[in-house]
A and B are shown apart, each in its own frame.
Chain A
């Protein structure tokens, strides 16, 4: 279990407990947090669950695998700390993770 904070582009913060094994994307979708569309349902095929990971966390969470950067090319306003939230799997180590949701997904 990890407490994850999602910050929307209008600075609303939503902190929810997400079970280990779910993804950061699923944590948002299941808790009705706005701004994460996840059109493809976690298949790394759409780049609509794009988030910015706070710098200190970016290096702590598991690294991007093949293909994630290719999809991020298509995301709305990608930055150096961009990730697809469907590729970040929640574990106890992620307790306290903060992610920012972009102003739109496309």
Chain B
């Protein structure tokens, strides 16, 4: 079990700046995120889209913003636990016991939820029949591509993941590529390569089709795909892959006894504390009168929540407000003074 002054859930911009504020005032923190990379929605949803309303940054992309925040964290030693989802938060005397899907557990007086709109999970096929084949012959990501050798694989989607896997698996497998329209949104070179493989008979392409059903007793035998004009085709297939991107799900957060309003958590505007003492919510996931879902609001909320954490992490010390321009303490922590 790891002890820390504060645990941050979510490594998006708000989580990162909250970590900065905690470290600056002399508290430790660790960060857990369900994604395999740092940056949250900025990296997952709009890495290349410019943002124009970060104060003093006229224009930057989601990726640049993330990199700048990481640069700002350089003076500090912060542990990230990626690809792990927080499953459980339980009261243990004056602390919270937090358990993750990766088997980590933390004991901390402060939990800061900077979770955006929840954790990112793959978007799934809509027919109910698909569920029973999930993780057996139907997948939303590829762990071991060798299981597809010599088999028929039906790949759904129109982006780079679907195209890249169709091209890669066409070397050793029979590949069906199915997409709801004629246009693909992947990189042009990849789209061209896919079309060349279709011409050579290495990929069977079905456009304007979507999955309608899946058949098989224990193992998947075939799927039905439905055209825009309602015509249905049956395809024999041993495996199905779906690449429809990620969706945000509130997930286990809903079970922690917090006051929720739709998919957001209610907080006060002094500490950004929830109805549970020592659990805070900042950034897009928190809700209060006048809340704006802007990155700059997340920064403000994180700065205040960090000060609130101080009281619970250092009950015998008094927090004193200081400026980075003048405080020797802060400059030392920032590595600017011996």
Q: Chain A contact residues: over half helix, strand or loop, or mixed?
A: loop
Distance, CA A39 to CA B118, complexed state (A): 10
Residue of B nearest to A76 (CB): B126
B247 within 8 A of A: yes
Distance, CA A48 to CA B45, complexed state (A): 13
Q: Which residues of B contact A48 (CB under 8 A)?
A: 247
Chain A nearest CB from B192 CB (Å) reads: 18
Distance, CA A48 to CA B157, complexed state (A): 17
Q: Chain B contact residues: over half helix, strand or loop, or mixed?
A: loop
Distance, CA A77 to CA B126, complexed state (A): 7
Residue of A nearest to B185 (CB): A70
Given contact pairs A39-B117, A41-B293, A46-B45, A73 touches B157 in the complex (Cβ within 8 A): yes
The total number of A-B Cβ pairs within 8 Å is 49
Chain A nearest CB from B12 CB (Å) reads: 13
What 0/1 pattern do residues 155 to 167 of B give for CB contact below 8 A with A?
0011100000000
Option from B157, B159, B179, B247 in Cβ contact (under 8 Å) with A106? B247
Given contact pairs A39-B263, A45-B46, A106-B123, A73 touches B247 in the complex (Cβ within 8 A): no
B183 within 8 A of A: yes
What are 14 contact pairs spanning A and B, CB under 8 A? A39-B247, A40-B117, A43-B46, A45-B45, A46-B248, A48-B247, A69-B181, A70-B158, A70-B185, A73-B159, A74-B244, A74-B247, A76-B123, A106-B247
By a beta-carbon cutoff of 8 Å, the part of chain A in contact with chain B is 37, 39-41, 43, 45-46, 48, 69-70, 73-74, 76-78, 80, 106
